[in-house]
Chain A
């Protein structure tokens, strides 16, 4: 266990950035999101939840796949290079780290997504324990411990210090690189901080949400429930919930024509959109109710059915905070609970 004074953090960031790319929460025009570090970036590690999750660092909202160029009668195809530069994502919370686990199961199982795999190989995650969890958090429900994020390096904020502990080989390597700025410390302060966090978590309103009845076997029971007809009605069909979500992994592949060349790229898609999974024959989800149901069924039923019961929601609460009309996954879970045995 090491520690570093908060006032030395900019020196730490500068040092990391010398050898690696560094992504961390940066405030731009009033909002905090993950962005590349630079000398004049306004780093903000105090905000608990960035608007978008750190998903972008591994699975960017838009990324090129290949470019087709035409020169005379010759056509050439240039694939986009895979990530080769080591990088560090600093400040991810326990829920976002768990989110990566969800993405791993999708992108790293056969057929492996090479773009994602390259980023995972070169990325080191410095996770940060949640100092002051908020009322919208419900990570505990999905087995996430906000006080003990499991990643390459974990840091805890205690008073004016940041405690630093490497957990993996990658984490050790990073620690070695910045050792000059760290001082040894015992873990008494961290243990106390963990206890404080756990106490706060106990009192959060959503932490005791029950997931009873939600599992891979509940398919037809949940799918056919009349409750969806009630729940979706105020949904605007915007993509806010999916785009701020650390686990939503659907993407669309599109072409962009720039005259003499065409670039094929992929970008996040949202099951809330009318053109989601659009095929030549049309769309297999024709109403907003079906699209709305898809999102929650995927998180709580389809994904667990394919991944040994693991849910693809991590309880970060971003959708709870950001939904324009105050709909969210917690309300959905509760609605089913309240209607109990009714079909």
Chain B
């Protein structure tokens, strides 16, 4: 199968915090709002649990985009987790941009449990962005490519 003819189906990883964003995704589902099946959600206890290594690992194993969702700043279930996460992700994304990885491939959005609509819209726009960027070739591990 040659790569040129293969239709691009992006793999997108979404880290969602247990208390807000994952519940937001639930709400999106129960409200029958749609978002593309390309998004694979990984539930984490708090956005602060997301280690920069998680993001890089996802890219290594073949993700084309990684998005992290958490409670709105100030609303963290653990009070301050997302504040730390915010600084970490800002620095990490800046570093990825610095080494030449397209910066649209990573994103952070704050989605509360009441924001099913926002969740669906966020995922739709992120997936669209990844479609426009195409396959991730700069951060993957060759051994994971078929």
By a beta-carbon cutoff of 8 Å, the part of chain A in contact with chain B is 256, 258-259, 263
- A65 → chain B closest CB, angstroms: 13
For B61, B141, B143, the residue with the greatest tally of chain A CB atoms inside 10 Å of its CB is B143
**Complex: A259 Cα to B143 Cα, angstroms:** 10
Q: B127-146 interface mask toward A, CB cutoff 8 Å, 1 = contact, 0 = none?
A: 00000000000000101100
- B141 → chain A closest CB, angstroms: 7
**Complex: A263 Cα to B146 Cα, angstroms:** 13
Q: B43-80 interface mask toward A, CB cutoff 8 Å, 1 = contact, 0 = none?
A: 00000000000000000011000000000000000000
- B60 → chain A closest CB, angstroms: 10
**Complex: A258 Cα to B142 Cα, angstroms:** 10
Which residues of chain A come closer than 8 Å to B143, judged between CB atoms? 256, 258, 263
6 additional A-B pairs beyond A259-B61, A259-B62, A263-B143, beta carbons within 8 Å, are A256-B143, A258-B61, A258-B141, A258-B143, A258-B144, A259-B144
- A258 to chain B: closest residue by CB: B144
Which residues of chain B come closer than 8 Å to A258, judged between CB atoms? 61, 141, 143-144
**Complex: A272 Cα to B141 Cα, angstroms:** 27
- Give the interface SS of chain B, mostly helix, strand, loop or mixed: loop
**Complex: A256 Cα to B144 Cα, angstroms:** 10
Q: Give the residues from 104 to 146 in chain B that come closer than 8 angstroms, CB to CB, to chain A.
A: 141, 143-144
- A63 → chain B closest CB, angstroms: 13
Which residues of chain A come closer than 8 Å to B144, judged between CB atoms? 258-259
Which residues of chain A come closer than 8 Å to B141, judged between CB atoms? 258
- B143 to chain A: closest residue by CB: A258
**Complex: A256 Cα to B61 Cα, angstroms:** 11
Which residues of chain A come closer than 8 Å to B62, judged between CB atoms? 259
**Complex: A1 Cα to B134 Cα, angstroms:** 57
Top 8 A-B residue pairs of the complex, sorted by shortest distance between their CB atoms: A258-B144, A258-B143, A256-B143, A263-B143, A259-B61, A259-B144, A258-B141, A258-B61
- A66 → chain B closest CB, angstroms: 13
Which residues of chain B come closer than 8 Å to A259, judged between CB atoms? 61-62, 144
Could you name 9 residue pairs across A and B whose Cβ atoms are closer than 8 Å? A256-B143, A258-B61, A258-B141, A258-B143, A258-B144, A259-B61, A259-B62, A259-B144, A263-B143
**Complex: A263 Cα to B141 Cα, angstroms:** 13
Which residues of chain B come closer than 8 Å to A263, judged between CB atoms? 143
**Complex: A194 Cα to B104 Cα, angstroms:** 61
- A29 → chain B closest CB, angstroms: 15
- B51 → chain A closest CB, angstroms: 19
- B146 to chain A: closest residue by CB: A260
- B57 → chain A closest CB, angstroms: 12
- B54 → chain A closest CB, angstroms: 16
**Complex: A99 Cα to B143 Cα, angstroms:** 31
**Complex: A292 Cα to B131 Cα, angstroms:** 52
**Complex: A214 Cα to B76 Cα, angstroms:** 66
- B141 to chain A: closest residue by CB: A258
**Complex: A258 Cα to B141 Cα, angstroms:** 9
**Complex: A18 Cα to B42 Cα, angstroms:** 51
**Complex: A258 Cα to B140 Cα, angstroms:** 11
**Complex: A258 Cα to B143 Cα, angstroms:** 7
**Complex: A37 Cα to B130 Cα, angstroms:** 37
**Complex: A217 Cα to B40 Cα, angstroms:** 63
**Complex: A259 Cα to B144 Cα, angstroms:** 7
**Complex: A263 Cα to B145 Cα, angstroms:** 13
**Complex: A10 Cα to B143 Cα, angstroms:** 34
**Complex: A259 Cα to B141 Cα, angstroms:** 12
**Complex: A259 Cα to B61 Cα, angstroms:** 8
- B126 → chain A closest CB, angstroms: 23
- B62 to chain A: closest residue by CB: A259
**Complex: A259 Cα to B11 Cα, angstroms:** 14
**Complex: A259 Cα to B40 Cα, angstroms:** 15
**Complex: A256 Cα to B143 Cα, angstroms:** 8
For A256, A258, A259, A263, the residue with the greatest tally of chain B CB atoms inside 10 Å of its CB is A258
**Complex: A322 Cα to B61 Cα, angstroms:** 34
Q: Give the residues from 25 to 52 in chain B that come closer than 8 angstroms, CB to CB, to chain A.
A: none
**Complex: A49 Cα to B141 Cα, angstroms:** 31
**Complex: A263 Cα to B143 Cα, angstroms:** 8
- A316 → chain B closest CB, angstroms: 32
- B142 to chain A: closest residue by CB: A258
Which residues of chain A come closer than 8 Å to B61, judged between CB atoms? 258-259
